[in-house]
Chains A and B, each alone.
Chain A
Amino acid sequence: MKHPKKDLTHPIAGSRWNHIWSGVVGDKLAMMALIIFVFYCLVALLAPLVAPYDVSDPAFMDLLNSELPPSWISGNSQFLLGTDAQGRDLLSVILYGTRLSLTIGICAVLIQVTLGICIGLVAGYLGGRIDNFLMRCADIQLSFSNMMVAIVFLAIFQSLFGMARYQQLAMVILILVIGLTEWPLFARTIRASVLAEKQQEYVDAARVMGISSKRIMFRHILPNTLSPILVIFTVQIANAIVAEAALSFLGLGMPATEPSLGSLISEGFAYMFAGSWWICVIPSITLIILILAMNLLGDWLRDHLNPRAYKD
């Protein structure tokens, strides 16, 4: 079988990244989503420089300033988006919160990807009993709701080590919990692509050349499965951020002293009906835009990296 079509339909020289990039430039929605995502990442990275106030500075909390409405209502230009119940500048808190949410999201998904790639590759490539065992583990993991596992785990940790200890380690624990509960998604996807790639002759060719299984898995098969991984990666970051926000909203996430977007929303929710809507609504909008952009990006990537369109 020859594949003369391939060369005709995809004359783009160079790598997958060129391919993605040229696609993004041509698509307005994707471009928007990407710009928003990059903007969020930049703001998160530069939060200490951009934010008007330093959240970790205790002097910055002034209860006299608490629950001030946004500047376009109060006319007070000192706090652009108003202040929260502790008297912190809402803009600064949101900036730092975005930074935390993104960090937790990305780190958690990195754990998921690492676990998922290793487990999926091994299961798919070696097959047989190992495959069966690993995939049953994934099934078991998936049969529990992630939220339930996270809640149980976090609740146990809080009661075992106490609130003070928990508040110190909250971020690490959240990353671990979200990261460890969602690896099967990656593992399954990668296993499925590996099963398909394993049949390809280039794998036989590599084996004939005496290349070891480990090398074949990571250097030859893995690059061929990167397209679906990239798509899930994007969507999963959004999911992880939402999961963190949900946990925080339930009081199991980041403490109020170090608020993420989720705990900001949770905290503001109490003041919602007291008239101070901005404490809850503005972080919510921030979160929604971020998640929307990431999901659009993921969707677009999925369409664009469709293996049928890209590879054959």
Chain B
Amino acid sequence: MKKRELAALIDVSFTLNRGERIAIVGESGAGKSILGFSIVNLISKPGYIESGSIKLENKELTTMNLRQLQEIRGKRIAMIFQDPMMTLNPVLTIGNQLVETIRSHTNISYKDARNIAIEKLHNVQISSPEKRFDQYPHELSGGMRQRVIIAAVLLLNPDIIIADEPTTALDVTIQAEILQLLLSICRDNGVALILISHDLGVVSKVAERTLVMYAGHIVEEGPTLEIINDPQHPYTQGLLNALPQMTIPGQRLNQIQGSMPSLAERPTGCAFHPRCPYATQKCKQEQPQFIYSGVSSVACFMIEDMLNEFADTDKEVL
């Protein structure tokens, strides 16, 4: 790597099966969104993918040219963003934007595209889709807009939806509706979902598997329920403890001491060690490797040591 370049993602590796729903959780700045953008090779300049590989059914995405990528984007992998107001073009009607998306990928008439668009609007439970079709984004409510965006994403029947904090900009009651919609749509159509979120409550409702990210690394990976019931990595434990539900009313909210290091000053060894209550000398020097703990895969020396101890006592018993 050249000087003055910073790595946003290091050694991030995971697989997504057909129709599977996974979640990527972590604090702001952990690299979750960059991960999402990297998958469709849309990192804004001057960022770039230095090495590694991203495969969609054995097709390598990192080396594809723009034209091939444009075939993948939208048609195979689609993305939902945080703020539905910003994602819709303010000066074009809803219908215009939907039809535009269809027609940029397939050669069909305006009328057919319109029918598809209205059908999809209907699928995301928008009332009187014919009327909405001719409306502008500012005439719709926040939840309605996010529904429109989900409809837009579904237009080309993608295999994977990447949802980057899809409910953060919405209020709580609408959040639940949108999540339920997203979940049922993924289930019904066999669409795989990568949900990027910092909200473990959201994640637990939707995702089958969870990846916890910290400072550009994945620190823990495993089935969502297991991770939430029995977090292994100290960071995951900290995240769960920080949930308001975990606090006794009247007491101070729990938090992980300190804050996420910036890209430029990532500590040596395990990136989490300055904030970790269990950190040892070893954590400051060496990078922990992934290890299966019996619950999830974790990159942490504490877990590693614990497992080794168990193994040793097992031997002694024998």
Q: Which residues of A contact B (CB under 8 A)?
A: 1-3, 6-7, 10, 13-16, 200-202, 204-212, 215, 219-220, 223-224, 226, 311
In the assembled complex, B18 has its CB within 8 A of some CB on chain A: no
Q: How far is the CB of A122 from chain B (nearest CB, A)?
A: 16
Known: A211-B74, A211-B100. A1 touches B83 (CB 8 A): yes
> Are B70 and A223 in touch, CB under 8 angstroms?
no
In the assembled complex, B139 has its CB within 8 A of some CB on chain A: yes
> Are B169 and A1 in touch, CB under 8 angstroms?
yes
5 further A-B contacts with Cβ under 8 Å, apart from A2-B85, A208-B74, are A208-B79, A209-B104, A215-B104, A219-B92, A224-B90
Query: What are the residues of chain A within 8 A of B78 when measuring CB–CB?
Result: 208-209
In the assembled complex, B230 has its CB within 8 A of some CB on chain A: no
Query: What are the residues of chain A within 8 A of B88 when measuring CB–CB?
Result: 202, 205
Q: Contact check: which of A10, A205, A210 meets B104 at CB < 8 Å?
A: A210
A256 to B107, CA, bound (A): 55
> Are A210 and B72 in touch, CB under 8 angstroms?
yes
Q: For residue A209, which residue of chain B has the nearest CB?
A: B74
Query: What are the residues of chain B within 8 A of A220 when measuring CB–CB?
Result: 89, 92, 100
Q: Contact check: which of B81, B85, B87, B92 meets A3 at CB < 8 Å?
A: B85
Q: For residue A222, which residue of chain B has the nearest CB?
A: B91
Q: How far is the CB of B105 from chain A (nearest CB, A)?
A: 6
> Are B73 and A207 in touch, CB under 8 angstroms?
yes
Q: How far is the CB of B81 from chain A (nearest CB, A)?
A: 5
In the assembled complex, B22 has its CB within 8 A of some CB on chain A: no
A194 to B134, CA, bound (A): 25
Encoded as 1 (CB less than 8 Å from any A CB) or 0, chain B from 73 to 107 comes to 11100110111011111111000000011001100
A209 to B150, CA, bound (A): 12
Known: A2-B169, A205-B81, A215-B104. A210 touches B73 (CB 8 A): yes
> Are B73 and A209 in touch, CB under 8 angstroms?
yes
Known: A1-B169, A2-B85. A212 touches B91 (CB 8 A): no
Query: What are the residues of chain B within 8 A of A200 when measuring CB–CB?
Result: 86
A217 to B156, CA, bound (A): 21
> Are B104 and A204 in touch, CB under 8 angstroms?
no
A226 to B138, CA, bound (A): 18
In the assembled complex, B142 has its CB within 8 A of some CB on chain A: yes
Most buried by A among B105, B138, B156: B138
Q: Contact check: which of B40, B71, B83, B138 meets A201 at CB < 8 Å?
A: B83
> Are B81 and A223 in touch, CB under 8 angstroms?
no
> Are B152 and A209 in touch, CB under 8 angstroms?
yes
In the assembled complex, B42 has its CB within 8 A of some CB on chain A: yes
In the assembled complex, B69 has its CB within 8 A of some CB on chain A: yes
Show 14 residue pairs from A and B whose CB-CB distance is below 8 angstroms, ordered by the A residue: A1-B169, A6-B138, A200-B86, A201-B86, A201-B87, A207-B73, A208-B73, A208-B74, A210-B69, A210-B72, A212-B104, A219-B100, A220-B100, A224-B91
A224 to B82, CA, bound (A): 21
> Are B42 and A224 in touch, CB under 8 angstroms?
no
Q: For residue B77, which residue of chain A has the nearest CB?
A: A208
Encoded as 1 (CB less than 8 Å from any A CB) or 0, chain B from 23 to 35 comes to 0000000000000
Closest 6 CB pairs of A and B: A210-B73, A210-B74, A209-B74, A201-B86, A208-B79, A210-B70
> Are A212 and B87 in touch, CB under 8 angstroms?
no
Query: What are the residues of chain A within 8 A of B101 when measuring CB–CB?
Result: 206, 209, 211
Most buried by B among A2, A208, A211, A212: A208
Most buried by A among B86, B92, B156: B86
Query: What are the residues of chain A within 8 A of B79 when measuring CB–CB?
Result: 205, 208
> Are B138 and A210 in touch, CB under 8 angstroms?
no
> Are A205 and B87 in touch, CB under 8 angstroms?
yes
Query: What are the residues of chain A within 8 A of B86 when measuring CB–CB?
Result: 1, 200-202
Query: What are the residues of chain B within 8 A of A201 when measuring CB–CB?
Result: 81-83, 86-87
A212 to B75, CA, bound (A): 13
Query: What are the residues of chain B within 8 A of A1 when measuring CB–CB?
Result: 83, 86, 169
Q: For residue B138, which residue of chain A has the nearest CB?
A: A6
**B173-199: which residues lie under 8 A (CB-CB) from chain A?**
none
Q: How far is the CB of A198 from chain B (nearest CB, A)?
A: 10
Query: What are the residues of chain B within 8 A of A14 when measuring CB–CB?
Result: 136
Q: How far is the CB of A10 from chain B (nearest CB, A)?
A: 7
> Are B69 and A7 in touch, CB under 8 angstroms?
no
Q: Contact check: which of B92, B138, B156 meets A7 at CB < 8 Å?
A: B138
A311 to B152, CA, bound (A): 23
> Are A204 and B42 in touch, CB under 8 angstroms?
yes
Query: What are the residues of chain A within 8 A of B104 when measuring CB–CB?
Result: 209-212, 215
A207 to B92, CA, bound (A): 16
Q: Contact check: which of B75, B83, B85 meets A210 at CB < 8 Å?
A: B75
A228 to B71, CA, bound (A): 34
A224 to B86, CA, bound (A): 13
Q: How far is the CB of A217 from chain B (nearest CB, A)?
A: 13
> Are A13 and B92 in touch, CB under 8 angstroms?
no
Query: What are the residues of chain B within 8 A of A13 when measuring CB–CB?
Result: 139
A295 to B140, CA, bound (A): 37
A206 to B100, CA, bound (A): 10
A223 to B40, CA, bound (A): 26
Query: What are the residues of chain A within 8 A of B73 when measuring CB–CB?
Result: 207-210
A206 to B88, CA, bound (A): 9
Q: How far is the CB of B168 from chain A (nearest CB, A)?
A: 11
A94 to B138, CA, bound (A): 48
Most buried by B among A13, A14, A207, A226: A207
Query: What are the residues of chain B within 8 A of A209 when measuring CB–CB?
Result: 73-74, 78, 101, 104, 152-153, 156
A85 to B167, CA, bound (A): 77
Q: For residue B70, which residue of chain A has the nearest CB?
A: A210
